[in-house]
Structure 1
Amino acid sequence: MQKKLFIVLGNQLFNLNFFEKYKKDHIFFMAEDYGLCTYEKHHKHKIILFLSAMRSFADELKKNSFSVIYKKINDADFKLDYIEKLKCKLKEKNIEEISIFEIEDKPFEKKIYEKLSKKVKINYLVSPMFLNSREEFKNYLSEVKKPFMANFYKKQRIKHRILIDDEKKPLGGKWSFDEENRKKLPKNINLPKKFLFTETNHTKEIKKIVEKEFFNHPGSVDNFWIGTTRKASWECFDNFLKNKIDLFGDFEDAVDQRDNILFHSALSPLINLGLITPNEIVQKLFDKTLPKIKLNSCEGYVRQIIGWREFIRGIYQNFSEDMETVNFFDHKRQMKSSWYDGTTGLIPLDFSIKNAIQYGWTHHIERLMIIANIMNLCEIHPKKVYKWFMEMFIDSSDWVMQPNVYGMGLFSDGGIFATKPYICGSSYFLKMMDFKKGPWCDIMDGLYWKFIEKNKNFFLKNPRLSMMVRILEKMKADRKEKIFFAANEFIRKNTDEN
């Protein structure tokens, strides 16, 4: 009788080739977990995506003669803790040894270790979710005084021999074309159509369960928009390569009210479930049978996959404890309900909040320069911002959200890897987005300059930022009074003191 168990988590739905050698002597255990669905009030689309994808993956295992134990969220014991369900099966099957891919989110990793390591032998396997091992990132950290994405990304390009020549120089003469990828969308451009998937039977069933069990979570089950299988993930990526990638680079940072996805691939939720891996993406991207991709677009996409994503994972694994505890600007304000329903009265912010409500997904500029920026300027407590992002996005996980929120979005970690807070007033919005000038501009500018004034000692110490204090000092008194009043009114209406 088999005495080995392979635990497959909901974000480890890799190609079956990664599991094949364990098929003969392992039982495969999968469980939908009520606790994981409710420890934050996760977006309905995230729960649908996870559970539907897990069921389809279990079907593939069974179809390929794997021995599978699968616990559904609508089983009689659905509210039983994940570990308790697992313990029952360990005892029932007399399991002596467990295999599992590395667990990225530390709280669950710790829980598995503490509850099971004294009962059974646990084999942790290197995850195909990433191109680098944890040890490789530690080696990188040992070589630098401070981690910077730019130098990490350069090393990645050289290591994987991507977009470099025989002398290890970057194609096109520079490592990043980010400065060329900041164009505003023309009014007459033809936007790509949203790629639609055929819902699986599992998705249809899960939607009913989610509507019943998680009715008070953000979002609606009616407009679920993303694929839930490996096949659908590849279809999504192929559509991106065929219809989007050439203009991805030019308009990577653009925000437009006509559409939320634009020329992005929107693959992050599927990559974060393991349905398609970074290595597979890179291999396909440079498939010689494909038409040649514009360099700035290819580099921009490569930077997201082998640069930013790998870097953020490494930062989380090595610095998460510091990020969780530091509150650099000492922000303590709380969000009112308007941040959850998109009724703050600030037009760009409400647009992005409603995108998150409707789709559980926005691209990086909406997240960083609209939502996180404004939350930071309003002095929202970092943990409340983090909670909001975890709840509202379908690609959220601790490993990806902690560095992106605390490090990039808020600078609340004090600059573990970022050099400055990413903040802006209305001018950036008007430059990169299609919002028209209006009263909202005074609110944005007031929030921005109030933040500069309150933290002027910090800005004066940074040569790149000190000029902002000088500009504020030269601002006309009536202009300053007007925009500060607008900002204070916005804060009063949309936040509470701690």
Structure 2
Amino acid sequence: MVKLILVLGDQLSESVAALRAGDKETDIVVMAEVADEASYVGHHPKKIALIFAAMRKFAARLREDGWQVSYTELDDTQNSGSICGELLRRAEQYGASEVVATEPGEWRLIDALGNCPLKVRQLEDDRFIASHRDFQDWAKGRKALRMEYFYRDMRRKTGLMMEGEQPAGDQWNYDHDNRKPAGGEVDTAPMQFTPDDIVNDVLDLVEARFGDNFGDLRPFHFATEPGQARRALAHFVRHALPKFGDYQDAMMEGEHFLWHAHLSGYINIGLLDPLEVCQAVEAAWKAGDAPINAAEGFIRQIIGWREYVRGIYYHEGPDYTRRNHLHHDRDLPWLYWGGETQMRCVGQAVAQTRTEAYAHHIQRLMVTGNFALLAGIDPWQVHEWYLSVYIDAFEWVEAPNTVGMSQFADGGVIASKPYVSSGNYIKKMSDHCGHCAYNVNAKDGEDDACPFNLLYWHFLDRHRERFSGNGRMGNMYRTWDRMAEDKRARILKQADRFLTRLDAGEPV
């Protein structure tokens, strides 16, 4: 009996579970570019182009390997517009009554497949190091689900940077060595690839259909096949990894990538295997080509953080993205879509996001995320923005980072305290403040005071009942309480004025 084997746009690995369960002799691989998936949020055009181009090339590789592939392009006149619709169409065409799928990375699509009027068997996506059962077993009975302890288990399981039962260098974590502000010349950049005919066809399609979405489609230089992605990995390991650890938290004017890998988009759609990437980094460290803090810091992001947030997403369930523990309800301001702002750090991060569909983790957490949290923006709207604008954003990885780590909307499932900071952190880790219209050194509620300074104290003041008893925030409240009453009043008054202007849509 013929089966349909569904392969989604972020499952472009020959070893994906649904393909392993199929039979080349009898089964039909179904792949489809559909409007539902391309438009459920306003995806960055580069993200749509990367996925569609990589899908088309993957379908071609499957055919070369002996699979029969039924592929639907977006502008096919018979395209039903949804994954379920395409499965129904292909089931009728081939007389199939069963679909084998690899579990999607979004509850929305898991539900859609579960309600499709076909028998759809969803297999767990085992391209990850920790299975659902592994994470549930780890989480069972724990009062707090902290990444650091999960990460240590992943190190033990993989053997990466381990010396027997002990971590290399006798430390699990070298994060204290990875907080240097960048300075001087950046001597590397991610590898770029010239679009071929397939990519150019996709770019034309995306420009015609999604040209009004936030983000610049061209120039487009992403890898769209595994061979290219592996070259990009080798380029990073050789040229950028040695300085990655030291400067992974740094921000610099005009430098979009610094020494970051820019590989997460390739890993998340299946062009690179995460363990393969970590092994390449470990090999560089063993060969003496990268320091231990760089290798450990990078590997922690993948087998630690990436695996951990996936575990959290499925552990917490479908309602996770709608959580709003702090009851924030301010609308996402236009400045996130490129509206005028005098805040240099925010403006730079948003402009870079528009151009590259990329910003590194500190720009996301401590600039755009920090501002949203301090300003009290609705976390659902923040979540949808991050899901829309970044090339590596899929809900399983994006939602815990946004709802949990960035916005504290999950009430502390991920973070033990809100990740809020004044402008001092941005001043320390970047050169943005020297180009800004606001004064990051203003402390007394002056008219030109950095909004991060004003909103930081405003946030603490309005959430005092919730956080004053948090042991990690006690010093913040003691500092606030030591200020003269009239100074506190000026700061809160200026913060309220700023938020009023923000709500009115005025440039801030």
Secondary structure class of the residue paired with 2:246: coil
Deviation at 1:99, TM superposition (A): 2.1
**1:351 counterpart (348, 353, 376):** 348
Deviation at 1:228, TM superposition (A): 1.3
User: Which residues of 2 match residues 374-413 of structure 1 at below 5 A?
Assistant: 374-413=371-410
Deviation at 1:409, TM superposition (A): 0.4
Q: Percent identity over the alignment?
A: 28
Q: Is the contact between residue 194 and residue 221 of structure 2 (CA under 8 Å) also seen in structure 1?
A: no
Separation of aligned partners in 2, 1:16 and 1:463: 46
The corresponding residue for 1:254 is 250
Q: Is the contact between residue 454 and residue 495 of structure 2 (CA under 8 Å) also seen in structure 1?
A: yes
Secondary structure class of the residue paired with 1:100: strand
State the AA in 1 paired with 2:483. M
Q: Is the contact between residue 37 and residue 82 of structure 2 (CA under 8 Å) also seen in structure 1?
A: no
Deviation at 1:75, TM superposition (A): 0.7
Q: Is the contact between residue 334 and residue 496 of structure 1 (CA under 8 Å) also seen in structure 2?
A: no
The corresponding residue for 1:112 is 113
Separation of aligned partners in 1, 2:135 and 2:267: 20
Q: Is structure 2 residue 127 aligned with structure 1 residue 103?
A: no
Deviation at 1:483, TM superposition (A): 4.3
CA change 1:320–1:401 in 2 (3 A) is farther
Secondary structure class of the residue paired with 1:406: helix
Secondary structure class of the residue paired with 1:22: coil
Separation of aligned partners in 1, 2:323 and 2:121: 34
Secondary structure class of the residue paired with 1:98: strand
1:7-41 Cα distance to aligned partner (Å, 9 max, x none)? 11100001368746632332111000111111111
Q: Is structure 2 residue 67 aligned with structure 1 residue 66?
A: yes
Give the TM-score of the pair, scaled to structure 2.
0.92
User: Which residues of 2 match residues 208-219 of structure 1 at below 5 A?
Assistant: 208-219=204-215
The corresponding residue for 2:235 is 239
Secondary structure class of the residue paired with 1:451: helix
Q: Is structure 2 residue 316 aligned with structure 1 residue 319?
A: yes
**1:371 counterpart (368, 371, 374):** 368
Q: Is the contact between residue 107 and residue 318 of structure 2 (CA under 8 Å) also seen in structure 1?
A: no
CA change 1:66–1:421 in 2 (3 A) is same
The corresponding residue for 1:48 is 49
Q: Is the contact between residue 339 and residue 494 of structure 1 (CA under 8 Å) also seen in structure 2?
A: no
Where does structure 2 lack aligned partners over 5 or more consecutive residues?
441-448
Deviation at 1:102, TM superposition (A): 2.2
Q: Is structure 2 residue 138 aligned with structure 1 residue 137?
A: no
Equivalent residue pairs, number: 491
The corresponding residue for 1:149 is 147
The corresponding residue for 1:124 is 122
The corresponding residue for 1:172 is 169
Separation of aligned partners in 1, 2:23 and 2:276: 22
The corresponding residue for 1:419 is 416
State the AA in 2 paired with 1:453. D
Separation of aligned partners in 2, 1:65 and 1:321: 37
Separation of aligned partners in 2, 1:445 and 1:262: 27
State the AA in 1 paired with 2:297. G
CA change 1:222–1:312 in 2 (3 A) is same
Secondary structure class of the residue paired with 2:424: helix
1:58-97 Cα distance to aligned partner (Å, 9 max, x none)? 1111222211100000111345332112101112201133
Q: Is the contact between residue 44 and residue 215 of structure 2 (CA under 8 Å) also seen in structure 1?
A: yes
Separation of aligned partners in 2, 1:378 and 1:225: 35
Deviation at 1:320, TM superposition (A): 3.5
- Cα RMSD, aligned residues only: 2.1
CA change 1:447–1:236 in 2 (3 A) is same
The corresponding residue for 1:462 is 470
Separation of aligned partners in 2, 1:204 and 1:345: 37
The corresponding residue for 1:91 is 92
State the AA in 2 paired with 1:350. G
1:161-182 Cα distance to aligned partner (Å, 9 max, x none)? 222222x122122111111100
The corresponding residue for 1:267 is 263
**1:447 counterpart (450, 455, 466):** 455
Deviation at 1:195, TM superposition (A): 1.9
Secondary structure class of the residue paired with 2:43: coil
Separation of aligned partners in 2, 1:16 and 1:496: 52
Q: Is the contact between residue 2 and residue 94 of structure 2 (CA under 8 Å) also seen in structure 1?
A: yes
Separation of aligned partners in 2, 1:476 and 1:82: 61
Higher RCO by CA contacts (8 Å cutoff, separation 6 or greater): 1
The corresponding residue for 2:11 is 12
Q: Is the contact between residue 335 and residue 496 of structure 1 (CA under 8 Å) also seen in structure 2?
A: no
CA change 1:440–1:9 in 2 (3 A) is farther
